[in-house]
Amino acid sequence: MATSDADKAGPWGNNKCDSPPKMVESMLQFINDEIKADVALWGGDSVPHDLGTITFDSDLDTVIRATELVKDNLKDTKIYATVGNHDTYPLN
């Protein structure tokens, strides 16, 4: 939790927290609309790093939502994904 206003994440996040969905969706739209990539590498670790709140169901839900977000925004792009150490349950 942020202890000062300077540490709070805005709608685009900050370098001390996980990327918010709005930022990820904006990035994927940019890749689709401007870069028009043929191939994308998805490096994993899609699950938030707030370790005390992770459950099997929340982990699975996050991975499913992230997959749908990538598929919906990069329809014509071949995706190569890896599983990050936070994308499994239990973690690591």
User: How would DSSP label each residue in 9-76?
Assistant: -BTTB-TTSPPPHHHHHHHHHHIIIII--SEEEE----S-S-GGG--HHHHHHHHHHHHHHHHHH-TT
Rounded CA gap, 61 and 40, in Å?
A: 22
- Written as tens digits, the pLDDT of the chain (92 aa) is 556 676 677 777 777 778 888 889 999 999 999 999 999 999 988 888 777 888 999 999 999 999 999 999 999 999 999 998 888 888 77
Q: What tokens were used for 85?
A: 């150490």
pTM of the model: 0.80
Cα separation values, 15 from 18, 72, 86, Å: 8, 26, 18
Domain-wise residue ranges, the chain = 20-81
